[in-house]
Amino acid sequence: MKAAAKNILKVRRAPRIETELIVPGDKSISHRAVLLSAISNGRCTITNFLEGEDCRSTARAMRQLGVEIETPEPGTVIVEGNRGIFRAPEGDIDCGNSGTTMRLMAGLLSPQKFRSKMTGDPSLSNRPMRRVIEPLQEMGARLQAEGEKQCPPLTIVGGPLEGITYRLPVASAQVKSAVLLAGLFAKGTTTVIESVRSRDHTERMFEYFLIKFRREEIWEGTCPVGRKLKEIRISLDGGQIPESRDFRVPGDISSAAFWLVAAAAQPGSRLLVKDVGLNPTRTGIIDVLIRMGARIREVVETSAHGEPAGTVDIKGIQLHATEVRGAEIPNVIDEIPAIAVAAALAEGTTVIRDAKELRVKETDRIAAVATNLRAMGVEVEEFPDGMAITGGKPLKGARMQSFGDHRIAMAFAVAGLFASGETVIEDTDCVLTSYPTFFETLKKIQKGTGIGRRTPVISSLGGGKTRRRKKA
């Protein structure tokens, strides 16, 4: 049988960017908004919900468990919370490409009174599940991964759970969230300890949905300047039901990252991204680009529903190399393909370390980035936990794979905007998992449709709290 034709994307060099844009709703927050609404005590309307395939997988899974969800218009979902009392699903729960769906759902399915099985596409079927299996088993759940090396499918025989104290062995917001969600249904207190700060959307949403929890930061050293974060402890008592509330999802900074890199690396470019999430556990991309020389102004305009959001104003320049490692990694983990493209366009050698998690994302992102950058003529040294990228030479257009990974496809579409000739990326349907309107925005960027010199860009940034970041 002939394999089905997969979409390809062709990209050519673009003029400098002078535009403003918005990006779709945040993926991590959209998942959590549906899950928290579904276990709440009533009706919740979620707006600016990301209509990407991953978040649809979460909504579909909830429907399969008996939660009523309506979508009256694109981007709006109305969820009838059922206090976490789910119905046994008919058939397997297909999580598609979404690791977040499977891992967070594992936390919600573990305390149920029925057996369930979660499956995924070939990429998800290769992603490690031991990281959620171990803590949930410790809480009393019976989970089993049927794939090799504890990979999906994941079968869960639900039952009563006990609270535990769990120190995260990997900095993972998905694992933290799975344990905390299970903790809501467990007897006693559940505590999760993280020694590296990971994205905190679950905690912020708990606060917004009026779940009581304690969060404590423990620091090493007494001097406020030199002190180092030792750990963060989050504890909650079981038996709590979220209070139903409406929720608006801000734009996804991880989607904005592609355009931030495209603008930052082009001297003379100017880009405004509006209504984008500016949660400090996610804005590491801005710090990295500032260290590389980009001029960026970030204005937090609202903190409605617990998540800061606002505008990022960025001016392009010849970038220079930087280092990305250590505690910064979880904050930029999804942006590393885009950062690698920035590195290829920057003068000098950029080093990325402590990022071995990239090996177990939608694809092995270290190998994928290295392969594609080399195809474009860039010198890349691969390490088990990262890479060194020597940039500054002109990029050559090339034909390359997305490896079925949305962020690889989008990062190399951006690289194509800077390359000579044509860049062809194969198998780009995966982009729909997180950024359904990416291709439209790419067209706009390629056409160079702009805000024009007369647009009062700066005055449009009034009213919020401005944080100018300095070069490190």
Is 334 among the catalytic positions? Answer: yes
- Told to check if 101 binds ligand S3P by CB under 6 A, we report no
Of 9, 7, 6, nearest in space to 423 by CA: 9
Query: Do 209 and 184 contact (CB within 8 A), yes or no?
Result: no
Of 199, 205, 204, 254, nearest in space to 24 by CA: 254
Expressed in percent and rounded to 5, the helix, strand and coil fractions of the chain are 35, 30, 40
Nearest approach, Cβ of residue 199 and ligand S3P (Å): 6
Judged by CB under 6 A, the chain residues 239 through 268 that form the site for ligand S3P are: none
Q: Which segment (84-92, 145-153, 166-174, 364-372) binds ligand S3P by CB under 6 A?
A: 166-174
Residue linked to tokens 């979620």? 46
Q: Which segment (142-150, 172-180, 222-230, 450-458) binds ligand S3P by CB under 6 A?
A: 172-180
Residue linked to tokens 């990429």? 123
Measured from the CB atom, the residue of 251 and 397 that comes closer to ligand S3P is 251
* Mask for 336-365, x = binds ligand S3P (CB under 6 A): ---------------------x--------
Query: Which structure tokens are listed for 414?
Result: 């951006």
Nearest approach, Cβ of residue 401 and ligand S3P (Å): 20
How far apart are the C-alpha atoms of 300 and 262, rounded to whole Å? 22
Q: Which of 173, 186, 249, 343 binds ligand S3P (CB under 6 A)?
A: 173
- Told to check if 333 binds ligand S3P by CB under 6 A, we report yes
Measured from the CB atom, the residue of 248 and 270 that comes closer to ligand S3P is 248
CA dihedral (168, 170, 171, 174) positive or negative: negative
Q: Which segment (109-117, 173-181, 321-329, 388-396) binds ligand S3P by CB under 6 A?
A: 173-181
How far apart are the C-alpha atoms of 133 and 138, rounded to whole Å? 9
Which member of 121, 334, 405, 427 is catalytic? 334
Three-state secondary structure call for residue 80: strand
Of 175, 274, 208, 192, nearest in space to 33 by CA: 208
* Mask for 42-81, x = binds ligand S3P (CB under 6 A): ----------------------------------------
Of 306, 325, 315, nearest in space to 246 by CA: 306
Measured from the CB atom, the residue of 62 and 376 that comes closer to ligand S3P is 62
Helices (H), 350-437: 365-375, 406-416
Measured from the CB atom, the residue of 119 and 172 that comes closer to ligand S3P is 172
Measured from the CB atom, the residue of 191 and 254 that comes closer to ligand S3P is 254
- Told to check if 100 binds ligand S3P by CB under 6 A, we report yes
Using CB under 6 A, count the residues that bind ligand S3P. 10
Query: Which are the contacts of 420, defined by CB distance < 8 A and separation ≥ 6?
Result: 13, 394, 395, 396, 397
How far apart are the C-alpha atoms of 388 and 296, rounded to whole Å? 25
Query: Do 175 and 131 contact (CB within 8 A), yes or no?
Result: yes
Q: Which segment (71-79, 168-176, 255-263, 273-281) binds ligand S3P by CB under 6 A?
A: 168-176
How far apart are the C-alpha atoms of 143 and 136, rounded to whole Å? 8
How far apart are the C-alpha atoms of 275 and 464, rounded to whole Å? 12
Nearest approach, Cβ of residue 388 and ligand S3P (Å): 22
Measured from the CB atom, the residue of 231 and 347 that comes closer to ligand S3P is 231
How far apart are the C-alpha atoms of 223 and 221, rounded to whole Å? 6
Measured from the CB atom, the residue of 103 and 270 that comes closer to ligand S3P is 103
Q: Which segment (7-15, 169-177, 365-373, 381-389) binds ligand S3P by CB under 6 A?
A: 169-177
Residue nearest to ligand S3P (CB): 28
| Ordered DSSP codes for 153-189 | PEEEE----B--EEE-SS--HHHHHHHHHHHTTSBSE
Measured from the CB atom, the residue of 57 and 177 that comes closer to ligand S3P is 177
Residue linked to tokens 């001016």? 315
Nearest approach, Cβ of residue 302 and ligand S3P (Å): 21
Rg (CA), the chain: 22
Q: Which segment (17-25, 139-147, 171-179, 438-446) binds ligand S3P by CB under 6 A?
A: 171-179
Nearest approach, Cβ of residue 100 and ligand S3P (Å): 4
Q: Which of 51, 200, 334, 427 binds ligand S3P (CB under 6 A)?
A: 334
Q: Which of 19, 28, 116, 283 binds ligand S3P (CB under 6 A)?
A: 28
Site residues (CB under 6 A) for ligand S3P?
A: 28, 100, 172-174, 177, 199, 333-334, 357
> Looking at the annotation, which residues are catalytic?
334
